[in-house]
Amino acid sequence: MQVNLRDSWQIGPVLVPSRLVLAPMAGVSVQAFRRQGRRYGAGLVCSEMVSCAGIHYRNERTLGYLRIAEDERPLAVQIFGSEPALMAEAAQMVEAAGADLVDINFGCPVRKVTKTGAGATLLEQPDRASGIVEAVAEAVSVPVTVKMRRGLEDGSRTCLSLGPQLVEAGARSLTLHPRSARQMYTGEADHRLTAELVELVDVPVVASGDVVSHQRALEILESTGAEAVMVGRAAQGNPWTLREIMDGVEEAPSRAEVAAELILFVRETVRELGERRAASFLKKFYGWYLRRGGFPRPFVQELVRLESTQDVVERLLIAEPEAAAALARLEAELPDSEGTVVPLPISAYGGG
pLDDT digits (tens, 9 = 90+) for 247-275: 998 888 999 999 999 999 999 999 999 99
| Same domain? 164 vs 306 | no
Could you give the number of structural domains in the chain? Answer: 2
Reduced 3-state DSSP string for 244-298: HHHHCCCCCCCHHHHHHHHHHHHHHHHHHHCHHHHHHHCHHHHHHHHHHCCCCHH
Question: Which pLDDT belongs to residue 338?
Answer: 54
Question: Rounded to 5 degrees, what angle do the CA atoms 60, 146, 30 make?
Answer: 35
| Same domain? 197 vs 277 | no
| Same domain? 240 vs 259 | no
| Same domain? 41 vs 63 | yes
Q: Which residues contact 188 (CB under 8 A, 6 or more apart)?
A: 179, 209, 210
- What's the Cα-to-Cα distance from 162 to each of 84, 102, 200, rounded to whole Å? 17, 19, 10
11 has pLDDT over 80: yes
Between helix 309-319 and helix 255-273 the angle, nearest 10°, is 170
- What's the Cα-to-Cα distance from 269 to each of 32, 151, 318, 348, 349, rounded to whole Å? 6, 35, 21, 13, 9
With cut-offs at 50, 70 and 90, classify the pLDDT of residue 333: confident
Residue 324, exposed/middle/buried by CB under 10 A (0-12, 13-18, 19+)? Answer: middle
- What's the Cα-to-Cα distance from 226 to each of 9, 246, 328, rounded to whole Å? 11, 16, 39
| Same domain? 188 vs 271 | no
Of the candidates 325, 253, 327, 329, the one whose C-alpha atom is nearest the C-alpha of residue 295 is 253
338: in domain: no
Question: Which pLDDT belongs to residue 337?
Answer: 52
179: in domain: yes
For strand 50-51 and strand 101-106, is the pairing parallel, antiparallel, or unpaired?
A: unpaired
Number of helices and strands in the chain (H, E): 16, 11
Which residue range is the domain that position 284 belongs to? Answer: 255-333
| Domain harbouring 175, CATH code | 3.20.20.70
Half-sphere exposure of 130 (CA within 13 A, CB side): 14
| Same domain? 38 vs 116 | yes
| Same domain? 204 vs 263 | no
Quote the pTM value.
Answer: 0.92
In tens, the pLDDT along 133-149 reads: 999 999 999 999 999 99
For strand 14-16 and strand 9-11, is the pairing parallel, antiparallel, or unpaired?
A: antiparallel
Q: What percent of the chain has pLDDT over 70?
A: 95
| Same domain? 171 vs 262 | no
Measured distance CA(77)–CA(103) in Å, rounded: 6
DSSP type of residue 193? H
Question: Rounded to 5 degrees, what angle do the CA atoms 11, 44, 167 make?
Answer: 30
Q: What percent of the chain has pLDDT over 90?
A: 80
| Same domain? 53 vs 191 | yes
Question: Which pLDDT belongs to residue 342?
Answer: 46
Measured distance CA(146)–CA(153) in Å, rounded: 19
Contact indicator for 98, 70 with CB cutoff of 8 Å: no
178: in domain: yes
- Alpha carbon 268 to chain centroid distance? 17
Of the candidates 70, 75, 132, 119, the one whose C-alpha atom is nearest the C-alpha of residue 99 is 75
2 has pLDDT over 80: no
| Same domain? 238 vs 288 | no
- The helix (run of H) or strand (run of E) holding residue 65 is none
User: End of a domain among 212, 228, 247?
Assistant: 247
| Same domain? 240 vs 277 | no
Measured distance CA(78)–CA(46) in Å, rounded: 7
User: End of a domain among 247, 282, 301?
Assistant: 247
Compute the mean pLDDT over every residue in the chain, rounded to the nearest whole number. 92
Annotation says 108 is catalytic: yes
In tens, the pLDDT along 94-134 reads: 999 999 999 999 998 888 898 889 989 999 999 999 999 99
170 has pLDDT over 60: yes
| Same domain? 211 vs 277 | no
Catalytic residue among 46, 52, 108, 159: 108
351: in domain: no
349: in domain: no
